[in-house]
Amino acid sequence: MTAREKVTITGFDKRVKSYMKVRNSVKDRLPKLSKDSTPEQIESYRKSFEEQLRARRMGAKSGELFRAGVAAYIRKTLRTEFQGKDRAELRDIVFDEETGGVLLRVNYPYPEKKEFTEMPATLLAKLPQVPKELRFRFVGKNLLLVDRDNNLIIDYMVDALP
């Protein structure tokens, strides 16, 4: 990794931490779930979390976390890591999932009825690290950053896959 790439990743990390501060401040104000919470209570909590976080992030748009430098770094990493047979296998996995029709909109939930394409562990190790509350997901050739607890799309980048 070059010095410029390190600066780029550091900037991405700062933006992710900024999101996490907002996220955690919203979560801290929600009523706590008990171990005996019903599915309805859990769904109500998730929905409330989503709505309050969306309100706090009103005006959020694509590219706030995946700025040009980090997007270029991720595309380069994907191109480097997935060549030949590996690239074909990754594309088969990504395009085999039922993610068609997922609208790429920041601050909106990833549809519950749509599948998530799991990110290969070898690739996760090469990408910028994100907190456990967030996850990278593919929708077609696009890469999303999604909140695990409320399914909000935090950011996305188009044409991430080679």
pLDDT digits (tens, 9 = 90+) for 23-75: 999 999 999 999 999 999 999 999 999 999 999 999 999 999 999 999 999 99
Name, in order, each residue with C-beta under 8 angstroms of 151's C-beta and a sequence gap of 6 or more.
46, 50, 109, 110, 112
Partner residues linked to 136 by β-bridges: 145
Give me the sign of the Cα torsion angle 21, 123, 148, 107: positive
Distance CA 10, CA 34 (A): 37
CA 154/CA 161 separation, integer angstroms: 19
| Pairwise CA distance, residues 74 & 66, whole Å | 9
> What's the token pair of residue 70?
């980090």
Beta strands at 153-157 and 134-139: parallel, antiparallel or unpaired: unpaired
Sheet holding 134-139, edge to edge: 134-139, 142-147, 153-157
Per-residue pLDDT tens over the stretch 118-146? 677 777 888 899 999 999 988 878 899 99
